[in-house]
Structure 1
């Protein structure tokens, strides 16, 4: 079958390790099944794997890709939940110490077919295209969990409608998902961006209430900050919060922040909450939310699976607003 794999790794030239070609059909352990993929989407995780982050060299070659949607063995339209945990684990699978996501221990979704645990399949609403559905399992699920499960004062609660939320960065997959979802949930969504056009697009296309240059002084303090950037924006995130506010962290693409702003955090009684991916149940709720509200992911561009190198080059350059998709025909 045709697939996209990491065959080598390089921190300075990650795309040199990308190979598009024939790969063996997936092995199907007991309790697993196969999905005939129709679409998959790229994440920065795929670039990190090519850089040697999170994917040990002894697992190469590894088919890349976390997100996908397609047809199950019975022909049903499904979305693949990317998080694979211990089959004995009970409860929130994001806390399973043995968890991984597709393309870390098990071959990923940048292929014509992928093997996954049967419990990882979620029905796809007919109202969503395969490309739209394939945007959801990583970036959009991460955003949904941040807003609904991790952002409220009480564990498992969400911010009340009308709260002001700052999203650092306007163009990435998680950031665009945060703005679109938050706006549909009745939150006042503000974004920052170094790119004026991306900031304006967040307002015009996603429903953000306002956009500001990175690091700008805001009109007033916010109730919560959604932080994916790390070192480059951390100080601004902490300074932007009202007393008792919350910053929800799902990543640090620019590295760990220093200083950590501990004095401001304890003096203003701020909450710093980590958030990782999401559960299968949350993915099911996210799909229902999109089905009912009509909110849809923005697909910046689509590429045939055979042209995956072009999609990776665009992601590597960073000129993306929304998600990049691969289609399998």
Structure 2
């Protein structure tokens, strides 16, 4: 089968042996797979290892075969893959055995994958393959950040630095679906307009003076994945006693902030990483109840996987970048 792999420090399309289902596993013939920012950093993390690793965390497809002891799925079922491995129930933090699909395990940038049946969920019927194949990782990341950690409520005001990522587009739609007010930033006027089209109430330039722009707003919750470049600016516009959730750091990992100002302001700071199977299932129920759809920026055929990586790395996308594997 064809697969997109890291091998000896290089990304390449390669013929790999087709997987077979072990007891408790299912083989899925993949239709689409979402490309995430995590994938961009794997070549550096995997190094010069000569053993080919199939990368990719998100995916959706059709069950081709099932191993012994599998009772919840049969051949022909349309499914999505949960990339949060071995994290089943909602908890304050992932369990020690938690990992993310796509390293060290073989991932979804392939024509087929063998995976534990416990990592599968039924595909929502109203979603296309590209939508279904790109929703789990960014969707559950946004859902946990917003509701489990951020405790967003109706009529709260949410502030999101950066509007174009896959997670940000989920955050906007989730927040609006429960009646919250949403404010985002972007350097791109086009992205600001796109954010407003999917529900954002306000979209301001990233390079503007946030304190002045938002002087008339009461920000209850900030969800930030940019990191050092925006953390202190976000804190400046957060109301006293407000909440800030960090789920990523696309700029600097380290940040300095004034502890005295922080504790006098009674701010609450939370970290978040992906989410449990329980939260993924709650998210899918929420999506189906509201017929919410992932925002797809662009789909690439698998033989253009490198182009998909380059497009995501450029930061020009609004929503999800997807590999179309087979139809």
Query: Would the TM-score normalized by the shorter structure come out above 0.5?
Result: yes
For 2:201, the equivalent position in structure 1 comes to 209
Distance of aligned partners of 1:245 and 1:252 in 2 relative to their CA distance in 1, 3 Å threshold: same
Select which of 223, 243, 246 maps to 1:249: 246
Deviation (angstroms), 1:258: 2.6
- Once residues 201 and 109 of structure 1 are traced to their aligned partners in structure 2, the CA distance between those partners, rounded to angstroms, is 29
Show the 5 A alignment for 1:42-53. 42-52=35-45
**Counterpart-to-counterpart distance in 1, 2:50 and 2:269:** 34
C-alpha distance in 2 between matches for 1:216 and 1:197: 19
CA separation in 2, counterparts of 1:27 and 1:102? 17
Q: Is the 8 A contact 1:66 1:109 kept in 2?
A: yes
Match of 1:183 in 2: 176
1:273 aligns with 2:274: no
SS of 1:110 mapped into structure 2: coil
Aligned residues: 311
Per-residue CA shift, 1:178-201, capped at 9, x if unaligned? Answer: 111111121101001122211121
Counterpart of 2:59 (choices 61, 68, 80) is 68
- Aligned Cα root-mean-square deviation (Å): 1.9
TM-score with structure 2 setting the length: 0.90
Q: Distance in 2 between matches of 1:57 and 1:144?
A: 35
Pick closer, same or farther for the CA change 1:77–1:234 going to 2, 3 Å. Answer: same
Which one of the candidate residues 302, 310, 323 is aligned to 1:326? Answer: 323
Give the Å deviation of 1:94: 5.4
Asked if the contact 2:8/2:47 (under 8 Å) is kept, the reply is no
User: Residues 57 and 98 from structure 1, CA distance in 2 versus in 1: closer, same or farther, beyond 3 angstroms?
Assistant: farther
Mapped to 2, the partners of 1:60 and 1:235 lie a distance apart of: 42
Q: Write the distance in 2 (CA, Å) between the matches of 1:77 and 1:94.
A: 30
User: In structure 2, what is the equivalent of residue 81 of structure 1?
Assistant: 82
Q: For 1:198-255, what per-residue CA distance to the aligned partner results, in whole angstroms no more than 9, with x for missing partners?
A: 1121002x10000112252213230000010101100111111111100011011102
Structure 1 position 92, deviation (Å): 4.0
| Unaligned ranges ≥5, structure 2 | 66-74
Residue 227 of structure 1 corresponds to: 224
Q: Give the Å deviation of 1:93.
A: 9.7
Q: Alpha-carbon deviation of 1:85?
A: 2.3
User: 1:197 maps to which residue?
Assistant: 190
Is the Cα–Cα contact under 8 Å of residues 93 and 279 in structure 1 kept in the other structure?
Answer: no
Q: Could you list the per-position Cα deviations for residues 10-29 of structure 1 after superposition, in whole angstroms to 9, with x for gaps in the alignment? A: xxxxxxx2101211223544
CA pair 261-57 structure 1, distance change in 2 beyond 3 A = farther
Describe the SS at the equivalent of 1:95.
coil
List structure 1 segments (4+ residues) > 6 angstroms apart after TM superposition.
none
State whether structure 2 residue 286 is matched by structure 1 residue 294. Answer: no
